[in-house]
């Protein structure tokens, strides 16, 4: 009896089914738009992550072998690095030995480069053998070791990478270059002479 009364009441109400249908369609369209927008954002982020993981990534560091200091450039990314230009700050270049500066500028800074994945290139900075350089040269090398090296790599797609470090950052126990002053060199010579005298005394005894 109650159910019959409710049905009778509903049938008597003048319902605008067209408006309700239009409203439902509108909300469905909004929900669809929000879903598509979220999917687009997720796809864009996935694409960005994939491009980053598979893009070229340059890395610079200083490698030291004995008295030879080299700037090492390596592509640690998964695709070829297409470099339009590499710029090095002038204040660092100005304290480099002239012939090494020319080598660095012509080999690294003058021409576009394509570096394959895992490919490495080396550029000579200084050869600093303390037994063969003058006090003035030692002072210049000390300045070079503490002068910031700033490298800006510009790719053909317009993106850039920036690096900044000093050579002293790469000097550590067991590999450090010891550029000594005159007193230290004199003490070293005295120590060497004392060892020679000691060796001779052992032979006499």
Domain range list for the chain = 58-192
**Alpha helix stretches (DSSP H) within the chain:** 2-12, 17-53, 90-93, 98-104, 135-146, 182-204
Prediction pTM value: 0.59
* CA–CA separation, 52 and 57 (whole Å): 9
* Domain range 58-192, CATH class: mainly beta
Average pLDDT over residues 142-169: 89
Q: What's the pLDDT band for 96 if we cut at 50, 70, 90? A: confident
Q: What torsion, rounded to 10 degrees, do the Cα atoms 133, 135, 141, 145 define?
A: 130
In this model, does residue 99 exceed pLDDT 80? Answer: yes
Strand partners, 107: none
In this model, does residue 12 exceed pLDDT 70? Answer: no
How many helices and strands (H and E) does the chain possess?
Answer: 6, 7
Predicted local confidence at residue 173, as pLDDT: 35
Average pLDDT over residues 86-97: 91
Q: What's the pLDDT band for 133 if we cut at 50, 70, 90? A: low
Q: What's the pLDDT band for 88 if we cut at 50, 70, 90? A: very high
Q: Quote the longest CA-to-CA distance of the chain.
A: 133
In this model, does residue 180 exceed pLDDT 60? Answer: no
Residue 65 exposed, middle or buried by CB count within 10 Å (0-12, 13-18, 19+): exposed
- The answer to whether 161 and 152 have CB atoms below 8 angstroms apart is yes
Q: What's the pLDDT band for 202 if we cut at 50, 70, 90? A: low
In this model, does residue 168 exceed pLDDT 90? Answer: no
Q: Which of 40-54, 62-76, 104-118, 170-184 has the lowest mean pLDDT?
A: 170-184
């Amino acid at each position: 009896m109650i159910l019959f009364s409710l049905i009778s009441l509903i049938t008597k109400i003048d319902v605008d089914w067209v408006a309700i249908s239009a409203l439902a369609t509108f909300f469905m369209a909004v929900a669809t738009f929000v879903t598509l927008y979220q999917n687009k954002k997720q796809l864009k982020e996935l694409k960005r992550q994939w491009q980053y993981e598979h893009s070229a990534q340059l890395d610079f560091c200083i490698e030291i072998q004995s008295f030879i200091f080299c700037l090492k450039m390596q592509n640690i990314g998964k695709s070829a690095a297409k470099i339009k230009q590499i710029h090095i700050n002038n204040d660092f270049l100005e304290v480099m030995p002239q012939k090494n500066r020319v080598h660095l500028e012509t080999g690294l800074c003058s021409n576009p480069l394509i570096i394959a994945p895992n490919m490495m290139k080396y550029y000579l900075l200084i050869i600093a053998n303390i037994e063969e350089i003058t006090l003035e040269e030692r002072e210049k090398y000390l300045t070079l070791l503490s002068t910031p090296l700033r490298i800006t790599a510009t790719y053909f797609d317009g993106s850039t990478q920036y690096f900044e470090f000093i050579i002293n950052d790469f000097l550590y126990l067991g590999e450090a270059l010891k550029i000594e002053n005159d007193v230290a060199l004199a003490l070293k010579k005295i120590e060497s002479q004392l060892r020679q005298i000691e060796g001779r005394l052992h032979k006499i005894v």
